[in-house]
Amino acid sequence: MAAKRIVIDPVTRIEGHLRVEVEVKDGFVTEAFSSGTMVRGLEIILRGRDPRDAWAFAERTCGVCTTVHALASVRSVEDALGIVIPPDAELIRNLMFCAQYMQDHVVHFYHLHALDWVDVVSALKADPEKTSALAQSISDWPKSSVGYFSDVQKRIAKFVASGQLGIFANGYWGHPAMQLPAEANLLAVAHYIEALDWQKEIVKVHTIFGGKNPHPNYLVGGVPCSLDINQANAINAERLAYVGKLLADARSFVEQVYIPDLLAIASFYKNWASIGGGLKNYLCYGDLPTNGFGDPGKFKFPRGAILDRDLTRIHPVDAHDPQQVKEFISHSWYQYSDGDEAGRNPWDGETKFNYTGPQPPYNQLNVDGKYSWLKTPRWNNHAMEVGPLARMLVGYGSGRADIKEAVDMVLKKLDVPVAVLFSTLGRTAARGIETYLVAQWAQEFFSDLLTNIKNGDSRTFNGEKWDPATWPSSAKGIGMSEAPRGALAHWIVIENEKIANYQLVVPSTWNASPRDSQGQRSAYESSLLGTPVADPDKPLEIIRTIHSFDPCLACAVHLYDPQGRTLNRVTIGG
Ligand code: NFE
Ligand code: MG
């Protein structure tokens, strides 16, 4: 049989604009291409601005990972100027980070990814009594009565009967790759609805410490809030108690709803433990410092790289070595002043558009030339996967006891070996495992914060270098983080108190990028090879693997055209 090209554009239940093209032959994917079809422009907007203001612009890269670019930005300036933030500021940043993870990962699992595995229409056939028994067999979560599931089922029935599935429209219902029993489908749909409600609570941690969500406030040198348990206008005893309650409730939801659902659903999809592995290399900058960002040995998420899936060897990562991270553009709609073949370290990065497509035959990407708005980052010339799976593998390989215990707990419950992690299922499981850890770590950070306050330390800001007159005439820095979707870093060059260059290299850029100049595929393209496709008109299996990365193309492209011109008109031919 001849290869058939499938175009998915736009991929939905993601953030931003992603096009995926695959060749399918004899029921399997034989070739894959990933393209970011939108262009924005934060690098250009940031040039010439005060570095202390950069976070407020950079944070608008994305409303999904709504804090991470602000964090990377303030860290880049702190790194350039040698600013060390007070311990309480570090703890508050960590608490905001943890709140972000819990919200982002739960929303991804239920609202962006679950419907690839859960058949909403099948839930109508479920027996509420059996659903209740199933719910009670996997968790102590109180909302598990027969009446509760029967009510949820009636709500779904109303949607379906009206012919307007609303938020559930256009799913691949009844697809042969849907493998859950009706009762598991009903349980998951009930929790889809509960999670919608829950996620708006946990982000209140951001509103308390950062004034608002999305896009809470940040500050170079610390955090923009003051701690005083007795003051009405500060983070006082009442606000802190509220944070404590939010964190405890979040942990209950993660432990009693998210993790049991993940395990229950995964147990029916173990065949996905050998699909979608893709690249064999994983990269983490590490995050959640406990002794300042200068001491990565004490991060909760360790730093390091894995090559060729060898978990016995964690390679050191030093982003400050300009040879290690480079961005290539041979297949991206940009140009470099010294030619498009060699990579550039982001400190010397350039952002010049060079839109060349579409080319004949117009209905498919010009994959021999430029075909994406994403640049292609490489670590020591290796294509790397970043994200929850990379973090759990680097943690596991580093012998970190808490990470190992959590990973082993999940593997044991599913009765599968560690090698299953290298897959679509493993990627989705890793996201749940790290959420489980983060929910615990958040409570540790919170208790450390209370201890510091009790001991009389309420400093949240180091203003020693606030005045630009104290800065050197030129300085360079990197602000690293582990965003929910993976390794994130902002590279900043400061000249005469202003930003001379600013480059963001974000998780979805690593994972979703086009080939590099040597033709190496990045993570999405690589992971799709070999994927079975039962029905080319309903490419559910492709969506499963792409969604397992939790794509965010808004983050990945972070460029826009300042004149608002049409830069990309993609024609999809019939
Ligand atoms: Ni817009 Fe983001 C995250 C960043 S991109 S979601 O997490 O950075 O992958
Ligand atoms: Mg960039």
168 in any annotated domain = yes
| DSSP letter (8 states) at residue 291 | S
pLDDT at position 63, please? 86
Residue nearest to atom 6 of ligand 1 (CA): 65
Contact residues for 490 (Cβ-Cβ < 8 A; gap 6+)? 58, 69, 72, 73, 75, 76, 478, 479, 502, 503, 504, 505
For the chain, how many residues are written? 574
19 in any annotated domain = yes
CATH of the domain at 227: 1.10.645.10
**Confidence at 171, pLDDT banded by 50, 70, 90:** confident
Closest CA relative to residue 215, chosen from 439, 224, 470: 224
Q: Show the ligand 1 pocket: residues with CB < 6 angstroms.
A: 15, 62, 64-65, 68-69, 483-485, 488, 506-508, 552, 554-556
**Is it the case that residue 158 has pLDDT exceeding 90?**
no
**Is it the case that residue 1 has pLDDT exceeding 80?**
no
Report how far apart, in Å, the C-alpha atoms of 419 and of each of 149, 272, 301 are.
Answer: 36, 12, 21
Q: What is the pLDDT of residues 143-155, one digit of tens each?
A: 999 999 999 999 9
**Is it the case that residue 559 has pLDDT exceeding 50?**
no
From 386, 503, 552, 558, give the residue whose CB has the most ligand 1 atoms within 8 Å, as the site to mutate. 552
| 3-state secondary structure (DSSP) of residue 67 | coil
Average pLDDT, the chain: 93
Q: For residue 481, give the amino acid letter.
A: S
573 in any annotated domain = no
Ligand 2 center from residue 570 Cα (angstroms): 22
565 in any annotated domain = no
Closest CA relative to residue 240, chosen from 536, 14, 447: 447
Which stretches within 38-143 are classed as H helix? 42-46, 54-58, 68-81, 87-107, 128-138
Atom number, ligand 1, closest to the C-alpha of residue 488: 8
Tell me whether residue 42 is exposed, middle or buried, using C-beta atoms within 10 angstroms of its C-beta: 0 to 12, 13 to 18, 19 or more: buried
Rounded Cα distance between 179 and 386, Å, is: 29
Ligand minimally distant from the alpha carbon of residue 71: 1
User: Which helix (H) or strand (E) covers residue 41, if one does?
Assistant: strand 40-41
Q: Which residues are catalytic?
A: 15, 62, 65, 69, 485, 508, 552, 555
Ligand 2 center from residue 492 Cα (angstroms): 12
Closest CA relative to residue 543, chosen from 529, 528, 523, 522: 528
**Is it the case that residue 298 has pLDDT exceeding 70?**
yes
Instruction: Of 34-43, 95-104, 517-526, give the lowest mean pLDDT range.
Output: 34-43
Ligand 1 center from residue 152 Cα (angstroms): 33
Q: What is the pLDDT of residues 342-357, one digit of tens each?
A: 999 999 999 999 998 7
From 55, 506, 549, 558, give the residue whose CB has the most ligand 1 atoms within 8 Å, as the site to mutate. 506
Rounded Cα distance between 193 and 198, Å, is: 9
570 in any annotated domain = no
Rounded Cα distance between 10 and 355, Å, is: 19
- What range defines the domain where residue 512 resides? 4-558
Asked if 549 contacts 11 with a C-beta cutoff of 8 angstroms, the reply is no
List 29's β-bridge partners, or say none: 24
List 377's β-bridge partners, or say none: 327
Q: What is the pLDDT of residues 466-477, one digit of tens each?
A: 999 999 999 999
Q: What is the pLDDT of residues 197-255, one digit of tens each?
A: 999 999 999 999 999 999 999 999 999 999 999 999 999 999 999 999 999 999 999 99
**Is it the case that residue 526 has pLDDT exceeding 80?**
yes
From 106, 285, 555, give the residue whose CB has the most ligand 1 atoms within 8 Å, as the site to mutate. 555
Atom number, ligand 1, closest to the C-alpha of residue 69: 8
CA 292 to chain centre: 23
Atom number, ligand 1, closest to the C-alpha of residue 62: 1
Asked if 507 contacts 389 with a C-beta cutoff of 8 angstroms, the reply is no
Atom number, ligand 1, closest to the C-alpha of residue 509: 9
Ligand 2 center from residue 376 Cα (angstroms): 9
List 75's β-bridge partners, or say none: none
The total domain count for the chain is 1
Q: What is the arithmetic mean of pLDDT over 517-544?
A: 96
CA triple 512-386-431, angle to 5 deg: 105
Q: What is the pLDDT of residues 400-458, one digit of tens each?
A: 999 999 999 999 999 999 999 999 999 999 999 999 999 999 999 999 999 999 999 99
Ligand 1 center from residue 69 Cα (angstroms): 8
* Token representation of residue 212: 């608002």
